[in-house]
Amino acid sequence: MSDEHKQPSTISDIAQLSGVSNRTVSRVINRSSKVGEATREKVQRVIDAQSYRPNARARGLAGGRSYLLGLIYDNPDALFIDEAQRGVLNVCRELGYELVIHPCGETDELCSEVVGSVKRSKLDGVIVLPPLSEDHNLFGALAQEKVPYVRLASVALDTSDRVVVSNERSAVAEMAEYLVGLGHRRIGYITGPAGRRSTRERLEGFSDALERLGCAVREEMIVQGAYSFESGIECARQLLAQPEPPTAIFASNDDMAAGVIQTATEMGLSVPRDLSVAGFDDSALATRIRPALTTIRRPVRAMARLAAGKLIAAIEDRTHDARLGVFLDPELIIRASTRAIDPAARMTEGGARVPS
């Protein structure tokens, strides 16, 4: 008899079925406050019964919006991207938005091109992933063009900054405490490429913590890497060739840490017996090399979810929800590549080991 299972029901169908006007159904859909409670419930029931879903195209056309969010990134770390995508999608689905992805590393696109592309695609807003998210030019341009955006980053710039922050400073501080607690005093540090904000945050967080713990931070224990496996190898060589080599090395990402382990092993050092090694990222690599890597994991998916929520709040003009930055703490993950320092080894300055 009834044909309530027809696929493409429209707002008018719902209006007729619930005995109200299109306008009222629209109000219910858009959570307008100006609807009587009784009416709202009645209409909502019909909507549910028909499993009606408003047509995003029509909504976009009429309302001047697209219900499309963009995810912008140049990050080469596929795992990070994947996590971020899934996090954003969770929220998108819930709130009726679609996610459009916008990788832009390879073509070396300029900010203006990114912004232009966003406007052409009529995206309602964008989420920017690191390290691109740390580029002032880009989010400056977005702000200027009034494109709503939220960044994922390692630090907030000011109170007006729309950003979800993973508190990397405190995370690396925790790592420093952990290593010192293990008895390490000569700790090598491999930085990321110069000029990146996260490079600075991680280094400062680490060395500040070291100082607080009463460990002098020696210049020669800090070498600059490039977040690549090869640079990890190179930096490890430098670090381990010193007269007083470190007993532990913290590489500021996992790729470099893998390079360190590789080099140490080649030099005849056993990890973690002779050298503790830790990384940052908890990448796929971390559990697939031996020893498995002690590292730091950012709550990427949770960050992405929060970012999406904030972004949509901003778009829908619930500015109070969107205003401030959000801060999340990364997690220290202890695996097999770090270990308490061997007192015997320590006395021999990292040279030939005396059996304990």
Partner DNA sequence: TTGTAAGCGTTATCAT
Partner DNA sequence: ATGATAACGCTTACAA
Q: By CB under 8 A, which span of 259-267, 309-317, 328-336, 347-355 interacts with a second copy? A: 259-267
H-type helices in 33-77, by residue range?
37-50, 56-63
User: Between residues 99 and 322, which has the closer beta carbon with respect to a second copy?
Assistant: 99
Residue 98: phi and psi, rounded to 5, are -110, 155
From residue 92, alpha-carbon distances to 148, 194, 198, 293, 333 in Å are: 15, 35, 28, 34, 30
User: Between residues 22 and 112, which has the closer beta carbon with respect to DNA?
Assistant: 22
- Closest alpha carbon to 305 in 94, 101, 160: 94
Answer with the entry of DNA, a second copy, none that 79 interacts with (C-beta below 5 to 8 A by kind): a second copy
| CA 57/CA 261 separation, integer angstroms | 53
Binding mask 115-154 for a second copy (x = CB under 8 A): ----xxxx--------------------------------
Which position among 39, 44, 95, 103 is part of the footprint of a second copy (CB under 8 A)? 103
Q: Check residue 57 for interaction with a second copy (CB under 8 A).
A: yes
Q: Check residue 286 for interaction with a second copy (CB under 8 A).
A: no
CB of 32 to DNA, least distance (A): 7
* Binding footprint of DNA on the chain (CB under 7 A): 8, 10-12, 19-24, 26-27, 29-30, 33-36, 38-40, 54-55, 58-59, 61-64
| Helix, strand, coil abundance in the chain, percent, nearest 5 | 45, 15, 40
| CA 80/CA 35 separation, integer angstroms | 43
CB of 118 to DNA, least distance (A): 17
| CA 226/CA 348 separation, integer angstroms | 32
Q: Check residue 110 for interaction with a second copy (CB under 8 A).
A: no
User: Between residues 16 and 228, which has the closer beta carbon with respect to a second copy?
Assistant: 228
CB of 30 to DNA, least distance (A): 5
One-letter amino acid of 103: P
| CA 229/CA 159 separation, integer angstroms | 36
Residue 251's DSSP bridge partners are 190
List of residues contacting a second copy (CB under 8 A): 7, 53, 55-58, 60-61, 66, 68, 78-79, 81-82, 85-86, 89, 98-101, 103, 106, 119-122, 229, 255, 258, 262, 265-266, 283-285, 287-290
